[in-house]
Amino acid sequence: MKSLITTAILATSLFAATAANAHAPTQLEQAIAGEHRSDKNKARDMYRHPEETLIFFGFKSTMTVVEIAPGGGWYTEILAPALKGTGKLYGAHYPDTGEDNYYSKSRRKLEAKLATNEVFSEVELTNFTPRVASDIAPAGSADMVLTFRNLHNWKVDGVKQIFADSFKALKPGGVLGVVEHRMPTSQSLEKNGKSGYFPQQLTIDLATAAGFELAASSEINANPKDTADHAKGVWTLPPVLRLGEQDKAKYLAIGESDRMTLKFVKPAK
């Protein structure tokens, strides 16, 4: 009888330990929930779906990852701690030329942000310039290159170069993950190029021309309520809300933009 009781106790303990381990948060989950992220930034998770998006791309905390044009560091806040100690994060940013322009100011602002918290201590910044060949990471070193909501800034020629830089940085079999404001097929880039949206098929065509293969697409970041036809382009919507109080409730109800989420792969051979 004692043997049966002991066996039952051991079995219960083993089950409890297994259940606890099964629900232990991953490094990515811990990064997303981290106290270093402001409530304002966490409020964007419902629109940007960082965990689902990174899992779709195949993200692992042991990877070497390049984030192109991290801007204010919204995704950097997640990627840096999710890779810290186990992987590597390069932030490919516009260089600081010392000039008083948007690009240099953006670089200095990000550098200041990275200095505020130990979770960013392993991030390495590199330089890139759209339309100019750049080493965003050592050639053939990256498992994954990511860019979020940037293609519209680079225009077609810039996207071509960035995709070429990404191809060079990636290992064979490496992933290029793209999230971008999606221009409806009813609109043309020629007429709507300043709207902040970019065509999905053109994105696929440019990536394919750079040597990539489309591995998968996802509607994780889709928003059917977004018509992409707004007075101040995509910036009419949150979080920018460029019209201020004008029709604010309407645009908050729409939410952030409709976005394509595309996973490309550099062929293994």
118 close to 149: Cβ distance less than 8 angstroms: no
pLDDT for res 269: 78
Cis (ω within 30 of 0) for the bond into 95?
Answer: no
Q: Is 57 exposed, middle or buried (0-12, 13-18, 19+ CB in 10 A)?
A: buried
Is 243 among the domain residues? yes
Confirm whether 131 is domain-assigned: yes
- Is 45 inside any structural domain? yes
d(CA 51, CA 160): 28
State if pTM tops 0.75: yes
Contacts of 160 (CB under 8 A, 6+ apart): 206, 209, 210
Question: What is the identity of the amino acid at 140?
Answer: G
Our count of domains for the chain comes to: 1
**Which of these, 162, 165, 73, lies nearest to 119 by C-alpha position?**
73
Average pLDDT for runs of 10 along the chain of length 269: 47 46 84 97 98 98 98 97 98 93 93 97 96 96 98 97 98 98 97 97 98 98 98 98 98 98 96
Q: Report d(CA 53, CA 68) in Å as an integer.
A: 16
Among 47, 236, 259, which Cα is nearest to 148's? 259
Q: In this structure, what token pair is assigned to residue 165?
A: 């830089």
CB 137 within 8 A of CB 124: no
pLDDT at 20: 46
* Domain membership flag for residue 7: no
Q: Contact, 235 vs 242, CB < 8 A? A: yes
pLDDT of res. 22: 56
Domain span at 253: 27-265
In a domain, residue 2? The reply is no
Q: What is the CATH number of the domain that holds 156?
A: 3.40.50.150
- d(CA 148, CA 150) in angstroms, rounded, equals 6
Given a contact cutoff of 8 angstroms between Cβ atoms, the answer to whether 177 and 217 are in contact is no
Amino acid at 128: F
Evaluate whether residue 90 is within a structural domain. Answer: yes
| Domain presence at residue 8 | no
Please, how many CA atoms are within 13 Å of residue 133, restricted to the half-sphere of its CB?
5
